[in-house]
With several copies, the nearest count.
Chain A
Amino acid sequence: MTVQVPKLEYRHRVDDLLRTERLPHVWCPGCGIGITLQAFLRAVKALEAKGVVDRKQLVFVTGIGCTGRASGYVRLDGAHTPHGRPIAYAYGVKLANPKLVPVVFSGDGDLAGIGGNHLLHAARRNFDMLVIMVNNFNYALTGGQLAPTTPHGAYSTTTPKGNPERPMDVARLVAALGANYVARWSIHYPVHIEEAIKRALPRRGFRFIEVLSICPEIFGRHIGFRSPVDLYERLRKVSKVKKPKTLEEIKYDWENEITLGVFVDKDEPGYMESICSVYNYDWCNELPERRWSKQ
């Protein structure tokens, strides 16, 4: 598998973290997944440049969905796991080799729908992993069905007369569960996403970043914003950056406000350190999150 490497000038800045031979990727024109992925890769490179993170230690785990396809493009150790199970898979990675750092990158349906129980318990345990959830407000890969994040009243192929359900505010939920780092940004804030990842990746415990994204091909079409730019602007309209003081101040309301910002930023011991407080494993002093946090 010899990879043809084009001249440096003709490569993207993050190309060395991509399986470029597979580009262009499958995502539709204007899909926000790529924006999020790029921010992640930029963050990795930036942290690497500072000597904080070593890409060999990262394991990039995705579930099934459009977002889940990301693992096919990222040139890191990784896995494309069954629908809803990337967090579960990541448990095993970390337990087997505590020197690795699992990064879960997946869709809202995958993580908060079918995968909700793992999200719940990983956050509760403050289990050491970074989770980046791309929230495109629907089940995109399967054609636009209702997601737990779909706005109330919105059309989806399984709620053709409008969604009767109350959506889930996933970031708020994870914050309520006591994760170490919780932030929500939208793709209008690529630098903030990158910064959030730079802050969260080297941190111990459970770190969760929700990125509000656009799926113009399916979600946009259903709600009448077919062009990526229109949907981009529609989403920008409700995305409001704030510094909420209580959980109750965090909003997830497609008509008025979806609160953006950093909701939790603390540094309590993660799961791995907790077991180190009970057993003296030889890796206890080499947990990368512990070392990195200190830098």
Chain B
Amino acid sequence: MAPRRAYDIIILANRCKECGLCIHVCPKKILVTGNKQNQKGYRVTTVTKPSDCIGCRLCEFSCPDFVIRIEPSSNGVPKGLIVWGENEVEVIKG
């Protein structure tokens, strides 16, 4: 078995509108509605288990708000990056 590739799940928090489509389409069910609200008052999607991500990009493609980007992990470690601002990035590992 080839080693699983690691992905970064980048979430541009202030664009999220809490529609839940990404959560719904994710085949690995690793996305959930977070607790933190963004500038518009939406509770931004967050990631539970980045290491489960298979990089299908369905969440990216299905997000109507240009919120999500999936990238092969920058440092080999699968992680969620919730970008609240240029200098305020929440990193979720696991």
Partner-B contacts on A (CB < 8 A)? 6-7, 9-15, 18, 23-25, 27-35, 38-39, 42, 187, 190-191, 194, 216, 227-229, 232
Contacts and interface: CB of A to CB of B under 8 A. Distances in A.
Interface of B: 10, 12, 14-15, 17-21, 24, 40, 42, 58, 60-69, 71, 74, 81, 83, 86, 89
Given A10-B89, A12-B12, A228-B19, A27 B24 contact: no
Nearest to A73: B66
Nearest to A14: B66
Given A10-B89, A23-B15, A24-B15, A32 B66 contact: no
Contacts of B62: 35, 187, 190
A7 B60 CA distance: 19
B10 A10 contact: yes
The B interface is mostly helix, strand or loop, or mixed, namely mixed
Contacts of B61: 35, 38-39, 42, 190-191, 194
A187 B24 CA distance: 13
Nearest to A32: B64
Contacts of B21: 30, 35, 228-229, 232
Given A6-B86, A10-B10, A23 B64 contact: no
A162 B67 CA distance: 36
B11 to A, nearest CB: 10
A9 B66 contact: no
B54 to A, nearest CB: 15
What are the 10 closest A-B residue pairs judged by CB atoms, nearest first? A34-B64, A30-B19, A190-B61, A29-B17, A29-B19, A12-B66, A229-B24, A228-B19, A10-B83, A24-B15
Contacts of B10: 9-10
Contacts of A6: 86
